[in-house]
């Protein structure tokens, strides 16, 4: 019996495949971009429309109003957030915008420290804060696209209001060690705001152990929750002193009083809501959260490291250049291959049901997830090699 067969036999996580119809009809290696749809989403959305149709306005009291809080607690459980600390938003950008609207960027403490490799959407948001007095300090990559934690730590001082960095960088899949960054930020009196989109669902994250203040993420990727469901964790340590300027009636302690102000904010996660919550998106997100929470981040990570390790070894055998980190402690769930004609190779692979993506400047990105079989890892790498050869011919 081959080694791969032995592994496959002991891989209990493949039992979840039956919950994800798409993984049976494709080679699904794009969960860093769009996780496969859980079967339960169809029932969830059907029940949502049924409720709307039959219960009308009563739906708010019968479940809709409570839903974002329940869903927030569910996703928060995956990263060990205390109940009542996670608010739901449309996406990471809007979640971070709410959080940052609570920060006064006034000298002498007006700096926001981020990295050059953070996701463009949040970098644009930080750029916009410059108009509100923020001084943006972008820590550059040193060699290739690698960010050194020591450089982030060195950029933090008493002028820093917020340290806003990714946990896993989206282009390179580099996993940043947040512990020294969070420690230095605390010492300097700065808030930490972590973009954990590329981490939660594939890398274990524990907000309490890390001691981070704020953490944002979304659902489309590793959590298999579809579009429209971003989340924001705010530690109870800092919650009371944060008063977002980007707010709304749903953040009021008694929204249905329709009080014209001054604003009295809710004491828990609802403090960070804005207007009417996007119920269907949160309904759709629930199945993926439940499955990831049931499997557990540690089991997902163990499997991810094993399969990405195999992909890296095969890439070496095939002469495909790996640019994501090789060390297990430094890599997220994605393998990045810097190949010639990545875009053409990607287009050809997508057309033949091999699902992956590419990013300008780094090449092809491929990711197994808990539903991936070991034989698919070998198969996808063979298909990539073939497509890269063809694209170069």
Ligand X SMILES: Cc1ncc(COP(=O)(O)O)c(C=O)c1O
Q: Which is nearer to ligand X, 166 or 308 (CB)?
A: 166
Q: Which is nearer to ligand X, 165 or 381 (CB)?
A: 165
Q: Closest approach of Cβ 261 to ligand X, in Å?
A: 29
CA angle centred on 283, ends 277 and 287, rounded to 5°:
140
Q: Which of 222, 175, 174 is CA-nearest to residue 197?
A: 222
**Is the Cβ–Cβ distance between 95 and 234 less than 8 Å?**
no
Span near ligand X by CB under 6 A; candidates 85-93, 307-315, 344-352, 354-362 = 85-93
123 near ligand X, judged by CB under 6 A: no
Q: Which is nearer to ligand X, 84 or 230 (CB)?
A: 230
Candidate residues 92, 152, 153, 291; the one interacting with ligand X per rule CB under 6 A: 92
Q: Closest approach of Cβ 94 to ligand X, in Å?
A: 7
Candidate residues 69, 85, 87, 93; the one interacting with ligand X per rule CB under 6 A: 93
197 near ligand X, judged by CB under 6 A: yes
Residue nearest to ligand X (CB): 91
91 near ligand X, judged by CB under 6 A: yes
* Gap between the Cα atoms of 213 and 190, Å rounded: 9
Residues 215 to 244 in contact with ligand X, rule: CB under 6 A: 218, 230
334 near ligand X, judged by CB under 6 A: no
Q: Closest approach of Cβ 324 to ligand X, in Å?
A: 14
Lay out the sheet containing 160-166: strands in order across: 86-89, 230-234, 214-217, 191-195, 160-166, 111-115, 135-139
* Gap between the Cα atoms of 5 and 178, Å rounded: 36
Span near ligand X by CB under 6 A; candidates 91-99, 180-188, 272-280, 345-353 = 91-99
CA angle centred on 307, ends 302 and 313, rounded to 5°:
130
Number of residues forming the site for ligand X (CB under 6 A)? 12
* Gap between the Cα atoms of 182 and 153, Å rounded: 9
Q: Closest approach of Cβ 85 to ligand X, in Å?
A: 19
SS3 of 392, please?
A: helix
Span near ligand X by CB under 6 A; candidates 192-200, 249-257, 262-270, 303-311 = 192-200
Residue 86 per-residue DSSP state: E
Helix (H) or strand (E) holding 181: helix 178-188
**Is the Cβ–Cβ distance between 76 and 86 less than 8 Å?**
yes
Q: Which is nearer to ligand X, 170 or 273 (CB)?
A: 170
166 near ligand X, judged by CB under 6 A: yes
Candidate residues 16, 48, 64, 170; the one interacting with ligand X per rule CB under 6 A: 170
Residue 297 per-residue DSSP state: H
Q: Closest approach of Cβ 45 to ligand X, in Å?
A: 20
Candidate residues 7, 121, 136, 359; the one interacting with ligand X per rule CB under 6 A: 121
Q: Environment class of residue 262 by beta-carbon count within 10 Å: exposed (0-12), middle (13-18) or buried (19+)?
A: exposed
Q: Which is nearer to ligand X, 95 or 250 (CB)?
A: 95
Q: Which is nearer to ligand X, 198 or 274 (CB)?
A: 198
Q: Tell me the C-alpha to C-alpha distance, in Å, between residue 102 and each of 194, 243, 246.
A: 16, 5, 8
* Gap between the Cα atoms of 337 and 334, Å rounded: 10
198 near ligand X, judged by CB under 6 A: yes
Q: Which is nearer to ligand X, 68 or 110 (CB)?
A: 68
Alpha helices in the chain (DSSP H): 3-10, 22-25, 40-55, 67-78, 92-100, 120-129, 149-155, 178-188, 207-210, 236-239, 279-295, 297-318, 342-351, 374-392
**Is the Cβ–Cβ distance between 198 and 351 less than 8 Å?**
no
Residues that bind ligand X in the complex, under the rule CB under 6 A: 91-93, 119, 121, 166, 170, 195, 197-198, 218, 230
């Amino acid at each position: 019996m081959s080694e791969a067969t032995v592994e496959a036999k002991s891989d209990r996580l493949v039992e979840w495949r039956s919950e994800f119809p798409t993984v049976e009809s494709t080679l699904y290696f794009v969960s860093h971009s769009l996780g496969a749809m859980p079967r339960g989403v169809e029932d969830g959305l059907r029940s949502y429309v049924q409720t709307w149709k039959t219960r009308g306005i009563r739906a708010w009291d019968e479940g809709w109003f409570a839903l974002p809080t329940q869903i927030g607690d569910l996703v928060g459980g995956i990263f060990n957030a205390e109940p009542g600390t996670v608010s739901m938003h449309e996406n990471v950008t809007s979640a971070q915008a709410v959080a940052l609207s609570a920060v006064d960027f006034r000298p002498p403490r007006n700096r926001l420290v981020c990295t050059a490799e953070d996701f463009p959407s949040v970098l644009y948001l930080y750029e916009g804060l410059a108009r509100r007095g923020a001084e943006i300090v972008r820590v550059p990559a040193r060699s290739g696209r690698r960010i050194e934690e020591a450089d982030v730590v060195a950029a933090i001082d008493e002028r820093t209001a917020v340290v806003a960095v990714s946990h896993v960088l989206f282009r390179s899949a580099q996993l940043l060690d947040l512990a020294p960054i969070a420690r230095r930020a605390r010492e300097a009196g700065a808030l930490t705001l972590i973009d954990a989109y590329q981490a939660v669902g594939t890398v274990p994250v524990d907000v309490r152990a890390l001691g981070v203040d704020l953490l944002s993420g979304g659902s489309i990727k590793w959590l298999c929750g579809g579009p429209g469901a971003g989340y924001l964790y705010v530690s109870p340590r800092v919650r009371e002193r944060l008063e977002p300027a980007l707010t709304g009636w749903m953040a009021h302690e008694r929204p249905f009083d329709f009080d014209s102000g001054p604003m009295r904010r809710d004491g828990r996660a609802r403090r960070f809501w804005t207007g009417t919550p996007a119920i269907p998106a949160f309904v759709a997100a629930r199945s993926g959260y439940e499955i990831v929470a049931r499997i557990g981040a540690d089991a997902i990570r163990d499997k991810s490291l094993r399969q990405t390790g195999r992909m890296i070894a095969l890439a070496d055998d095939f002469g495909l250049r790996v640019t994501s980190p090789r060390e297990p402690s430094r890599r997220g769930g994605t393998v990045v291959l810097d190949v010639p004609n990545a875009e053409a190779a990607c287009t050809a692979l997508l057309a033949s049901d091999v699902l992956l993506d590419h990013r300008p400047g780094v090449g092809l990105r491929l990711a197994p997830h808990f539903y991936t079989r070991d034989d698919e890892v070998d198969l996808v790498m063979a298909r990539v090699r073939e497509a890269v050869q063809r694209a170069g011919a």
